[in-house]
Chains A and B, each alone.
Chain A
Amino acid sequence: MTPFGHLVREVPPYGLLSLGDQLVTYQCHHHSLFLDQTVSDALGGEGWAVRRQAAFEASHALLTSFYAEFGVIDPEERIELAVELFAAMGHGRLVFEVTAEGGTVRGHELHYGAGFREKYGSVLRNRRPVDTFAAGFVSAAASLAFPSDWGTLEADEVACVARRDELCVFALTRRPERPRFGAVVTRPLVEQLARGGPGEVPRPSPAAARAGADLARMLHTVLPDESGVLRAFGARVCLVPVSYSNQITFDTLHLVEKRSPELCSIVGTLIREAAQTGAFHLLGGVLASPAWQGEHGPPAREMEVRLEQLVGLTRALGWGAFDVQELVPRSGLVLASHLTHESAYYAARHGGTSRSRLYFQQGLALALMYLLDSTELDGGEPVGPGAYDALFRGGPRFDALESRSSLRGDDVCEVTVELAGD
């Protein structure tokens, strides 16, 4: 198994990461599941198609770049590399039984399905399959292994562990439609955006730089298990193409804006919540983990020091190089960045906008505030869903406001967190 840290490269100085030539981020299952769920909440059954199309496009671009880089042409070798890459990204293990006519793919311990079973299995019964990223990935892998002018091999998940089936199974059939591709957020494209952008990115503080470097080292050497699962910091962690997570976010938002504009703010809140819960669990999990505390000791009680560490971690996770403009303990903070994966994606794919679009940054800023203000991280316990839910049963509530955005012509993307009004 390939340690997936070996596959990623930093895009300095923006705190972004690339895999092949594609921009990627580390994401825990709390974030992945809530974001996919929000798409389904907003679009119902249509959500599956939106997510699968995004997964197909992102995976197709990712695999194409790897096949080109390694000169892989043979169908079996292409499938083999796809299987290896999928597992190395922490998404689980795939077993292909496929020809040019189609076939089936079995999925073991898939990030979404197994993550759903682990997180919600005891409280919820799910009636629909959830592994849309895997469906898009196997569709892209099979279509690239067996290319045809007659269209692509499309995957439908016919069994899913989230539905309490024994295994996740995909059926591949060839569809005559020609594939659609939008702009993909590649490393060269981001570097080009950055060159045309404003100002110099501030250097991280020594504490932030050390935290980022140490986490990057940990992730560089960590190894997914035989099933392609990476459990780290109390969560299932995987690499997700930025094109996937942002395409499902903004395609959903745009559809709701067009059809039911009165519901847009609700979609925005839920997308922000996905980032918030993901950042809370992953960042909190790092600081609370024995591996981290073995090197750094218990998390600092001083808010400023803890915040420096947390902001440093975001660089290693590919979320961006953030700069804390202001921190008022127990009251709020201001978090800025020159370029994040979502601002890069939106600029590349949709251009500028006067509307609020920095939902990931809002969620991250809120998670930081809750980790500073309301969370004990030195109790030796992993940060679990119980700790997160407890935040909202009492104590202060915070709200986030997008105060500046490069998408509407400002020099930075800036989010302000404040105590909520009631």
Chain B
Amino acid sequence: MSGTEPAAAMAGPIALDGLAYGIDLLDAVLVFHLGDAHVHALWVRPDGGVRAEDVVTTLRDAYRVGQFASKRLMGASSPRAEAPAPLITLELPQRTVLLRRIRAYVVACVFDAAMPLGMVRVIAARLAAALEPELPLGQESTDAATKARVVLPLPAAVPPLRPVAVHSADEGPPHTLTFGSSLPRRSRPPPPPTEGERPSRLLAYLEAHAPEPHMVRHRLALRAGLTLAALDRPEALGPEAIVLVETAVQDILGIDRAELRRIP
């Protein structure tokens, strides 16, 4: 996709990868209908661990509850009063999620927790501003993602954080998860290895950077509460053990979570 294809608008999918390009700590953008929670458009970082089908209904419900609470807080007594459009922020240890309503839709921006909250708000606002003109004006609900066939040109209001690479015209269709794509993601860094390789890479990094490298495995095992045998097969560690390993690596090297995420 490029920003010079207005003719394709209304014919193709919403190509969110252009908007998400270069925002390193952005894990996902989900645009879903507030009524039936169908996904209108989405972009998910391949290694971000967000599965749209798992979260979209829950996020819709969370937004509904937020609306209800807002109504009460605003003192609206009539059930016919117009539903408010609160801006809802979910702050979790691993992620920050910002939910913003645009007419009948909600734009959910999912960030890594390392992204400062102020930046979360700024970037989410810019993404919403870019999406707003492209979303349907009415309250209609589409029951299939195939109806969401709008290509968003890269708006001038959302400058990429890194220079945009110029792609040739025969590059193929834009990369969106709505329709899938065979193209690799174009933003940096390149697609990292799978999550299963993460503990092995952390271990290698630790052995290269921690003092007394000959004792690093013992220290990691003790801090993480894992046996040495478990560390001999790091690819077999489960998600909970990986979190323990990550925390132990942070403690041993004295780094914060953002630095940990940058370990290649």
- Among the interface residues B213, B218, B223, B255, which one has the most CB atoms of the partner chain A within 10 A? B218
> What residues on B are CB-neighbors of A124 within 8 Å?
210-211, 253-254
Contacts of B225 on A, CB cut-off 8 Å? Answer: 260, 263
B188-223: which residues lie under 8 A (CB-CB) from chain A? 209-215, 218-219, 221-223
| Cβ-defined contact, A266 with B222, below 8 A | yes
Q: Is the CB of A42 within 8 A of B222?
A: yes
B146 contacts the other chain (CB 8 A): no
Q: Which of A62-70, A269-277, A307-315, A324-332 is found at the contact surface with chain B?
A: A269-277
Chain A stretch 50-93: residues in CB contact (< 8 A) with chain B = none
A392 touches B218 (CB 8 A): no
B222 to chain A, nearest CB (A): 5
Partner of A269 from the list B212, B213, B218, B255 (CB cut-off 8 Å) is B218
B54 to chain A minimum Cβ distance, whole angstroms, is 32
Complex: A129 Cα to B238 Cα, angstroms:
32
Please, how many angstroms separate the alpha-carbon atoms of A267 and B215 in the complex? 11
**Using Cβ atoms and an 8 Å threshold, which residues of chain A touch B251?**
127
CB atoms of B222 and A125 under 8 A apart: no
> Can you list, as one digit per residue, whether each of B221-235 has a CB less than 8 Å from chain A (1) or not (0)?
111010110000000
Instruction: Tell me, in angstroms, the Cα distance from A34 to B222 when the chains sit together.
Output: 14
Give the one of B210, B228, B254 with max A CB within 10 A. B254
A-side binding surface: helix, strand, loop or mixed? helix
User: Shortest distance in angstroms between B221's beta carbon and chain A's nearest beta carbon?
Assistant: 6
Residue among B211, B228, B251 with most chain A CB within 10 A: B211
B211 touches A263 (CB 8 A): no
Q: Are B254 and A127 in contact (CB under 8 A)?
A: yes
Chain A residues lying within 8 Å of B255, measured Cβ to Cβ, are: 125
In chain A, what residue has the closest Cβ to B220? A41
Chain B contact surface mostly? helix
Q: How many A-B residue pairs have CB under 8 A?
A: 49
Residues of A within 8 A of B221 (CB): 263, 266
Most A CB within 10 A of own CB, among B212, B214, B227 = B212
Shortest distance from the beta carbon of A37 to any chain B beta carbon, whole Å: 8
Q: Which residues of B contact A42 (CB under 8 A)?
A: 222
Say yes or no: A266-B212 contact (C-beta < 8 A), given A125-B254, A126-B254, A260-B225.
Answer: no
Q: Which of A120, A127, A270 contacts B211 (CB 8 A)?
A: A120
Contact A34 B253 (CB under 8 A): no
Min C-beta distance of A136 to chain B, whole Å: 23
- Cβ of B214 and Cβ of A270 under 8 Å apart? no
CA distance A197 to B42 in the complex (A): 77
Binary flags per residue of A24-40, CB closer than 8 Å to B gives 1, else 0:
00000000001001100
Cβ of A389 under 8 Å from chain B: yes
Contact A262 B227 (CB under 8 A): yes
Alpha-carbon distance between A263 and B219 when the two chains are bound, in angstroms: 11
**Most-contacted residue by chain A among B213, B221, B255 (CB, 10 A):** B221
Chain B contacts for A127, CB-based, 8 A: 251, 254
CB distance from B229 to the nearest CB of A (A): 9
Would B222 and A389 count as touching, CB distance under 8 A?
A: no
Q: Tell me the residues in window 251-265 of chain A with beta carbons closer than 8 Å to chain B beta carbons.
A: 260, 262-263
- Assess the B211–A266 pair: CB atoms within 8 A: no
A41–B222 contact, CB under 8 A?
A: yes
User: Which of the residues A34, A262, A389 comes within 8 Å of B213, measured between beta carbons?
Assistant: A389
A267 and B222: CB pair below 8 A?
Answer: yes
Q: Which residues of A contact B222 (CB under 8 A)?
A: 38, 41-42, 263, 266-267, 270
Query: What is the interface of chain B, defined by CB distance below 8 A to chain A?
Result: 209-215, 218-219, 221-223, 225, 227-228, 251, 253-255
Supply 19 A–B pairs (Cβ within 8 Å), ascending by A.
A38-B222, A41-B222, A42-B222, A120-B211, A124-B253, A125-B253, A126-B254, A127-B254, A263-B222, A266-B222, A269-B218, A270-B215, A270-B218, A270-B219, A273-B212, A273-B215, A385-B211, A389-B212, A392-B214
Q: A126-B254, A270-B215 are in contact. List 6 more A-B contacts (CB 8 A).
A: A37-B219, A44-B223, A263-B225, A263-B227, A392-B213, A392-B214
**Interface, chain A (partner B; CB < 8 A):** 34, 37-38, 41-42, 44, 119-120, 123-127, 260, 262-263, 266-267, 269-270, 273, 277, 385, 389, 392
- Going nearest first, the 8 A-B pairs with the smallest beta carbon separation are A125-B254, A392-B214, A41-B222, A266-B222, A266-B218, A41-B223, A124-B254, A41-B219
